[in-house]
A and B are shown apart, each in its own frame.
Chain A
Amino acid sequence: MGSKKQITYENSNVIEVGFGTAFKRGNWLTKLSAIIFGLGNILNKQFVRGLLYLSLELAYLYYMITFGVTALKDLITLGTVAQIEVFNEEKQIYEYIVGDNSMLCLLYGVLTVVITLAIIYCMTGSVKSAYDTQRRKELGGSIPNFLDDLNSLKQRNLHKAMLFTPVLGVISFTIIPLIFMILIAFTNYDKSHQPPGNLFDWVGFANFKALFAEGSMLSNTFWPILGWTITWAIFATFSCYILGMILAIVINREGTRFKGFWRFLFVLSIAIPQFVSLLTMRTIFNTNGPVNSLLRTLGVIGIRESIPFLTHPTLAKITIICINIWIGVPYTLLTTTGILQNIPKDLYEAAKVDGANVFVTFFKITLPYMLFITTPNLITSFVGNINNFNVIYLLSGGGPDSLEYYAAGKTDLLITWLYRLTITEKDYNIGSVIGIITFILLATVSLITYRRSKSYKDEEAFQ
């Protein structure tokens, strides 16, 4: 081979640099590509690539001139002209003159910011691409044409091709809505500031202050609900985990027969859509439902009496946790059976020789082993339980309602309260604050535990 380093398109690690380096080391053409996208490519005969970049920039400029600049301005003011009522003398009626819609201002503002970020990303791409071409020329390599570019999508740039649509989906259906909702936490978008009739405006941290202000109705609602959410998550997670594991052990033990049959019996309840089983449970425990009728027939309670399973504040909480055990235990059974069989048998034999009974072996051997392995699962289910909308909403609907609470009931979790605040009460600002707090709660819990877990540390261990 010749002494000159052969630069082929595939062997291109030399040219892979960040935006900063590309811009610093690039010649004037490369630098100019930051302002006129694709310039470096077009002048080097990579017409299609260059024109694609250029057309993106032109489209962005057109968008900004026709719409974007106003959208950004509106994002700052959130609209200035309120809708007004004017008496029309001719028709003898009140007419509405359309004002600014703060909600749309915020939405389009966020969209414009995201589009701007995307175009900045394109700008770095344009500079990098120009630098790439510049280097190839300097090193005397071949300059790829558009066909090469397309082919690179199957090889070097496969990740870009394959991630494009999913990432687009995530950005538009998860990230943009999230940014939008987070921003609402800093506005006064509540039921007395509903667009299009009224404007809402930025209020800084006022909503957070209102929520934490001592003695206010909001904070009197927030703290008990937070307490119940955490209690619920702990009880729900560990009751299902431990009971499910015990069930799995009992089914697995030597003397038990028809193992498959028992497992099938319990797993059957997962196979039924959750909302069906939850609605059924609600019916069963209703004031006039089967359980109460049964108790009446048996004479445990009077003919006209009923046990308020889901309407008494404390009893409702207990009922919900019990029903959740019914729902959750089969999941644990399903996931732990296999792991339990992997626990080394000699551990148990050694314990037996030492005279340990069933409880000691469970708490000293089984539980620590299982905890060690299933911590990630446990975190997922803890997080899932804090966000467990279905169980609460479909069973009790958050009720029984309480007058001491602001738009919440005694069994409401943060997440169901959030639902009620936004969907029923239209207090979006408080709802959004609740959402952020829930996120902080979850993020702290899971980051602390997750980063310690084995599966995070050696992600590549099994490859």
Chain B
Amino acid sequence: MKKKKNRSIKRFITNSIVHIILAILGAIWVLPIIFVILTSFREESGGYKSYILPRGYTLDNYKNLFIQQGSLNFPRWFINTLIVSICTCILSAFFVLCVSFVMSRLRFKMRKRMMNIALILGMFPGFMSMIAIYYILKGFGLLDAGPLKLLALVMVYSGGSGLGFYIAKGFFDTIPKTIDEAAYIDGATKWDVFRKITIPLSKPIIVYTLLTSFMGPWIDYIFAKVILGQDRSYYTVGIGLWTMLEKEFIEYYYTQFFAGCVIISIPIAILFLKTQKFYVEGVSGSVKG
């Protein structure tokens, strides 16, 4: 009896320690996020402060972000990014779904070789090709005017997206082939199978593909920076926000930077939390069974 009590006390102590450690770690993980949110409401303008908690709170940072029409035009960036990301997500989802269906369901001579090539291409550092892409786009005159730059950006984001077919292919692999075979017996073509069977069964992975490619332009910094150059009115949100932290702007825009971060983080956070299930399935897809 005593021994049992001893053990439960011991367990209670371990559990308390575990919860305390988790709480501390949790705090470390959440504090930066809270810092962002608090600073976005900070009343005092200017850059770094020698204290952490703001002295006063205001909504002006958010208001200014949307009202201002100066050289840093957040609403404009927001619309730019929205346009780019909608086009990108449609194009890349189309590419990815096509390639992954073909690789998963169709058998042809070059299949294995193509998959190996895709694997090897993925190992080159991404923007090793960036410079060349920049000159190719420039050569075709796509970098002459602002709107064309956005088009160029869409092409850059979605152009090579066919290489990222692994997750969707893993999903298609899990759809039983017997369903397809039944359809073939009924006289369906392979195209019918793709359109009428695979696609309706793949809503989760379609949503996942659409969302990940939609989020790309919002969080990219490098490619946008190289393509868009100095033309601030065609910036996307990513480089726009980065600009706010540059020396000549930071004093005035510091708090607005955080307001901007909160605004783009909210939708992305919601999208991510909604789709994390697919993310997990996709990443650990190869380990099923």
Contact = CB atoms under 8 A, between A and B. Distances in A.
B26 A265 contact: yes
Given A177-B129, A268-B269, A170 B159 contact: yes
A422 interface: yes
B48 A288 contact: yes
A331 B268 CA distance: 16
B121 interface: yes
Interface in B6-20: 11, 14-15, 18-19
Interface stretch (B63-71, B203-211, B271-279): B271-279
A170 B160 contact: yes
B123 A155 contact: no
A442 B159 contact: no
A442 B120 CA distance: 9
Contact of A176 (B25, B132, B270): B132
A271 B268 contact: yes
Interface stretch (A43-51, A58-66, A141-149, A248-256): A248-256
B287 A455 contact: yes
B123 A330 contact: no
B276 A334 contact: yes
A206 interface: no
Contacts of B15: 255-256
Contact of A159 (B108, B124, B125, B130): B108
Interface string B97-129: 011011000101001001000111101111111
A58 to B, nearest CB: 23
Contacts of B218: 273
Given A103-B135, A166-B162, A463 B273 contact: no
Contacts of B102: 158-159, 162-163
B161 A169 contact: yes
A275 B33 contact: no
Interface string A284-301: 101011100110110000
A266 interface: yes
Contacts of B215: 273
Interface stretch (B72-80, B141-149, B237-245): B237-245
Contacts of B106: 158-159
B256 interface: no
Nearest to A442: B123
A290 B52 contact: yes
The residue in A281, A432, A439 that gathers the most chain B C-beta atoms within 10 A of its C-beta is A439
Nearest to A262: B22
A97 B261 CA distance: 49
Interface string B156-196: 10111111000000000110010000000000011110100
B269 A174 contact: no
A300 B69 CA distance: 44
Given A250-B18, A268-B30, A273-B264, A170 B121 contact: yes
B284 A293 contact: no
B4 interface: no
B123 A443 contact: yes
A394 B111 CA distance: 39
B256 to A, nearest CB: 13
A339 to B, nearest CB: 6
Contact of A326 (B28, B121, B242, B261): B28
B245 to A, nearest CB: 6
Contact of B219 (A166, A274, A461): A274
Contacts of B268: 271-273
B143 to A, nearest CB: 14
B159 A390 contact: no
A251 B47 CA distance: 38
Given A155-B189, A267-B276, A462 B288 contact: yes
The residue in A153, A165, A290, A462 that gathers the most chain B C-beta atoms within 10 A of its C-beta is A290
Interface string A322-343: 0000100010001101110000
Contacts of B177: 463
A154 B108 CA distance: 14
A418 B125 contact: yes
Contacts of A36: none
Given A255-B14, A276-B264, 15 more contacts: A107-B135, A158-B106, A166-B161, A176-B132, A177-B130, A178-B132, A181-B132, A247-B25, A277-B32, A280-B35, A330-B29, A339-B284, A376-B286, A438-B124, A439-B125
12 contacts: A107-B139, A165-B95, A177-B130, A256-B19, A272-B36, A273-B265, A279-B245, A279-B257, A334-B276, A334-B279, A418-B128, A439-B125
Interface of A: 103-104, 107, 153-155, 158-159, 161-163, 165-167, 169-170, 172-178, 180-181, 247, 250-251, 253, 255-257, 262, 265-277, 279-281, 283-284, 286, 288-290, 293-294, 296-297, 326, 330, 334-335, 337-339, 373-374, 376-377, 383, 387, 389-390, 393-394, 414-415, 418-419, 422-423, 428, 431-432, 435, 438-439, 442-443, 446, 450, 455, 461-463
